[in-house]
Amino acid sequence: MIAVDDLIALVRNYNPRTNEALIRAAYDFGREMHEGQMRQSGEPYFTHPVAVAAILTEQRLDDATIITALLHDTIEDTKASYAEVEQRFGREVAELVDGVTKLTNLQLTSTETQQAENFRKLLMAMSKDLRVILVKLADRLHNMRTIKAMKPEKQAKKARETMDIYAPLAGRMGMQWMREELEDLAFRVLNNEARASIMRRFVTLQKESGDIIERITGDMRTEMEKAGIECTVFGRAKKPHSIWRKMQEKEIGFSRLSDIYGFRVITQTEEECYRALGAIHQRWRAVPGRFKDYISQPKSNGYRSIHTTVSGRDGKRVEVQIRTRQMHEVAEAGVAAHWSYRDGVRAQNPFAVDPAKWIATLTEQFNTEEDHDEFLEAVKLEMYSDQVFCFSPKGDVIKLPRGATPIDFAYAIHTRIGNATVGAKIDGMRVPLWTRIRNGQSVEIITAEGQVPQATWLDIASTGKAKTAIRRALREVDRSRFIKLGSELARSAFEHVGKKATDKVLELAARHLRVDGGREEVLARLGSAELSAREVVHAVYPELAQGSSETIEHDRAVVGISPDQSFARAPCCQPLPGERIVGIKVRGQGVQVHAIDCEALVRFEDQPERWMDLHWQAGKHPPIHTASVLITMSNDAGVLGRICTLIGEQKANISDLNFVDRKPDFYRVLLDVDLRDVEHLHSVLSALEAESDVAAIERFWDPSRLKSSATDGRQERQAGGLQAS
């Protein structure tokens, strides 16, 4: 426990005019009142109030606040009364101690209605004297530092309360150092495994790359000296919880997280802040979108600083904060800077915010709120920095995580509205769906009948509710598309064997194939290529499956050719198994197989002796028969990839690809696809036709002529390019 003389020495360091006798009297009175009381750790209870007082000396607070810290539990936990404290230490101290006692009795993690009322009391206490909150925050900080002595369930409760209430409150008051420590201490309790993992990564990183902080700090000092700027430069690694939060927000691993180091440049004047910024941007490349000037536009709690992120050594991103010494004092103490002492007098810091004015702006809008829920949402809007509170057109408050978009807002209202979203307005202005919502904004969702969620929304959404609903809707959309495609494939397959794909037939196929879900599930699996049309047909008409269990070898794929003859598919029509075919004898080349309607057959009309009556062997053919498909598609990012994926989903392989025509708004692409038979081709074409970015698709005849034309054109362009260069 810190001795009274040591505590007084800590106060005297910044306030030589301190009332030493009054602090000593408070120390003795507190120790006497808590005599015999023990903490969970087994230490005397009075060690806690003394530690809270020591924490407050770090913020250079006045005597009344230090004495309040020493006595903050006396009215609640001992026989001391308000009247006795007032008599001994004055009314100011008595009211502060009473205020802390009332805050301690608030159950801030109770039900929503009670929590709203307790927040109301919290704000009332803050508006009366903000030092009450400063003592309470220091009290919570010391309790979190010594939380290991508590039972695990109580540790979890206190840690959650700290993460939800006290850490955001410290941040809102501008006491960022306290917020970070409170979050990290709570993080250690709530997810110690994750915290330990991050710490291990830091150790590994330091072993691999050495002391990055020292090197970058040295580089910055050198640049400042070159620019003739007198300043202090120091750096640090960010707290584990801060890193964990960024990993969760960006959904990336530690190795991909770049800005895990922060640096501060403390100058003498405001003008030097901007000179320092120029020197840093001249030496290192600035990261776009990561610059904020809180000097010209200070925060409401008095915070002033320039923030920028640059690519430092080895391409590592580092965050740099540039501010003057006075700005730094306010940045460290926040609203508490108003009570800071230096050399025995109240510090005259021009950037310190008047607590009365600050608390007035915070509470003014809440006084008219009668509804508990509305009040609670309103106060959290101001107090929680990790959450965004926005408004619907009707005035309802919607709570979302920071970084949320209109997509998250729409699904927060109702899944039906989310699924039908086509646009959004923020504060009356039309905005893209990927726009990040800020606190206090009004959001209006524009919907349309027939709209369905897009896969790209998964990258835009940030809430679990939105992502889950989008994935579910996408599955339903895909299912509808697959059922439609499966219906067409089933109709074609059954007609091919002289049958009809009636509902009764498909229900029978489902039973024989043991597919739960009946007719619709069979069609969905057929459309998604999980089942082949042949399997469905043979499930109902097994007699048609003779000889189909084994894959037919290529040399016996065509019936009507003698064993000593060879054959090849004609490149002009590329006939597929399942199509009607004829053969044309070619001297020295065997037999060329053509589709019955191939235009090239006209050349052989006067040579009947060369014609052969052929047909394909019944059964399962291997996917080695190439057919050319000409596709006209939108010239947009990702379209070609989706088309290739669709073809792959149909268990077909692309063996060649040529761009036939390139325009600003569309491409024409010739694909060679390896297929089993004409039924397989039909399934591929149907799947591609269902793609919204495909404008036209057709099977291409005589592709060799088009390929040679495209090749010639490409060669001409290449030649021209070589000549030009």
Domain ranges of the chain: 4-190, 195-346, 386-462, 472-545, 554-616, 625-724
Q: Is 717 exposed, middle or buried (0-12, 13-18, 19+ CB in 10 A)?
A: exposed
Percent helix / strand / coil, the chain, rounded to 5: 55, 15, 30
Which of 625, 628, 619 has the alpha carbon at shortest distance from 593? 625
What three-state secondary structure class fits 464? helix
Q: What's the rounded mean pLDDT across residues 345-373?
A: 62
Residue in 20, 43, 58, 77 annotated catalytic:
77
pLDDT value for 22: 93
Taking the CA atoms of 713, 719, 722 and 725 in sequence, report the sign of the dihedral they define.
negative
Token readout for 248 is 């969760």
Beta bridge mates, 388: 400
Q: Which pairing describes strands 421-426 and 429-431: parallel, antiparallel, or unpaired? A: antiparallel
Whether the Cβ atoms of residue 218 and residue 244 lie closer than 8 Å to each other: no
Q: For residue 690, is pLDDT > 50?
A: yes
Report how far apart the first and last C-alpha atoms of the chain are (Å, whole number): 81
What's the gap between Cα 420 and its chain centre?
22
- Per-residue pLDDT band at 716 (split at 50, 70, 90): very low
pTM score over 0.75:
no
Which of 476, 468, 465, 472 has the alpha carbon at shortest distance from 408? 465
Whether the Cβ atoms of residue 310 and residue 320 lie closer than 8 Å to each other: yes
pLDDT value for 381: 44
Whether the Cβ atoms of residue 237 and residue 213 lie closer than 8 Å to each other: yes
Q: For residue 711, is pLDDT > 50?
A: no
Q: Catalytic annotation on 76?
A: yes
Which of 674, 667, 669 has the alpha carbon at shortest distance from 658? 669
Whether the Cβ atoms of residue 183 and residue 175 lie closer than 8 Å to each other: no
When the pLDDT of each residue in the chain is averaged and rounded to a whole number, the result is 80
Alpha-carbon span 545 to 548, nearest angstrom: 5
DSSP state of 670: E
Token readout for 311 is 């690519």
Alpha-carbon span 213 to 355, nearest angstrom: 36
Query: Please, how many CA atoms are within 13 Å of residue 190, restricted to the half-sphere of its CB?
Result: 18
What three-state secondary structure class fits 631? strand
Q: For residue 3, is pLDDT > 70?
A: yes
Q: Is 517 left (phi over 0), alpha (psi -120 to 50) or beta?
A: left
Q: For residue 417, is pLDDT > 90?
A: yes
- CATH ID of 195-346, from 3.30.830.10, 3.10.530.10, 3.30.460.10, 1.10.8.60: 3.30.460.10
Task: State what percent of residues in the chain have pLDDT above 90.
Answer: 20
pLDDT value for 664: 77
Q: What's the rounded mean pLDDT across residues 200-226?
A: 81
- Comparison of pLDDT for 529 and 273, the residue scoring more: 273
Strand order, beta sheet including 666-675: 653-662, 666-675, 625-634, 694-699
Contacts of 517 (CB under 8 A, 6+ apart): 510, 524
- Per-residue pLDDT band at 223 (split at 50, 70, 90): very high
The H-assigned helical ranges of 129-259 are: 131-145, 152-161, 167-172, 176-190, 192-209, 212-226, 240-250
Token readout for 144 is 């979190």
Whether the Cβ atoms of residue 552 and residue 534 lie closer than 8 Å to each other: no
Q: What's the rounded mean pLDDT across residues 497-509?
A: 84
97-106, 522-531, 646-655: range with lowest mean pLDDT: 97-106
pLDDT value for 619: 75
Q: For residue 277, is pLDDT > 90?
A: yes
The H-assigned helical ranges of 384-438 are: 406-413, 415-419
pLDDT value for 723: 30
DSSP state of 546: T
pLDDT value for 224: 93
Q: What is the pLDDT of residues 598-631, one digit of tens each?
A: 888 888 888 888 888 888 887 778 888 999 999 9
Contacts of 211 (CB under 8 A, 6+ apart): none
Residue in 43, 76, 164, 478 annotated catalytic:
76
- Comparison of pLDDT for 407 and 119, the residue scoring more: 407
pLDDT value for 370: 46
Give all strands (DSSP E) within 333-492, no chain letters.
Answer: 341-342, 345-346, 387-391, 397-401, 421-426, 429-431, 443-447
Q: Catalytic annotation on 597?
A: no
The three-point CA angle 243-248-249 to 5° equals: 95
Taking the CA atoms of 154, 159, 164 and 167 in sequence, report the sign of the dihedral they define.
positive
Whether the Cβ atoms of residue 409 and residue 398 lie closer than 8 Å to each other: yes
Q: For residue 278, is pLDDT > 60?
A: yes
DSSP state of 442: B
Q: What's the rounded mean pLDDT across residues 223-239?
A: 89
Whether the Cβ atoms of residue 337 and residue 302 lie closer than 8 Å to each other: yes
Alpha-carbon span 630 to 695, nearest angstrom: 11
Alpha-carbon span 175 to 59, nearest angstrom: 10
- The helices-and-strands tally (H runs, E runs) of the chain is 29, 22
pLDDT value for 313: 60
Alpha-carbon span 437 to 403, nearest angstrom: 7
- CATH code assigned to 386-462: 3.10.20.30
Which of 645, 659, 651, 654 has the alpha carbon at shortest distance from 691? 645
- CATH code assigned to 625-724: 3.30.70.260
What three-state secondary structure class fits 674? strand
DSSP state of 40: T
Q: What's the rounded mean pLDDT across residues 557-575?
A: 86
104-113, 210-219, 351-360: range with lowest mean pLDDT: 104-113
Q: For residue 719, is pLDDT > 50?
A: no
Q: For residue 406, is pLDDT > 50?
A: yes
Q: For residue 548, is pLDDT > 50?
A: no
- CATH ID of 4-190, from 1.10.3210.10, 3.40.50.12280, 1.20.1070.10, 3.40.50.720: 1.10.3210.10
Specify the DSSP element, H or E, that contains 232.
Answer: strand 231-237
Q: What is the pLDDT of residues 35-71, one digit of tens each?
A: 888 888 888 989 999 999 999 998 888 899 999 999 9
Whether the Cβ atoms of residue 304 and residue 254 lie closer than 8 Å to each other: no
The size of the chain, in residues, is 725
Whether the Cβ atoms of residue 401 and residue 389 lie closer than 8 Å to each other: no
- Comparison of pLDDT for 396 and 413, the residue scoring more: 413
DSSP state of 500: -
**b/e code 324-342 from CB counts within 10 Å (16+ = b):** bebbbbbbbbbbbbbbbbe
169-178, 472-481, 547-556: range with lowest mean pLDDT: 547-556
pLDDT value for 232: 92
Alpha-carbon span 363 to 368, nearest angstrom: 10
Q: For residue 371, is pLDDT > 90?
A: no
Domain 4-190 and domain 386-462 have a common topology: no
Contacts of 294 (CB under 8 A, 6+ apart): 303, 304, 305, 306, 307
200-209, 351-360, 367-376, 406-415: range with lowest mean pLDDT: 367-376
Which of 667, 648, 674, 671 has the alpha carbon at shortest distance from 658? 671
Phi, psi of 660 (to 5 degrees): -90, -35
Beta bridge mates, 237: 261
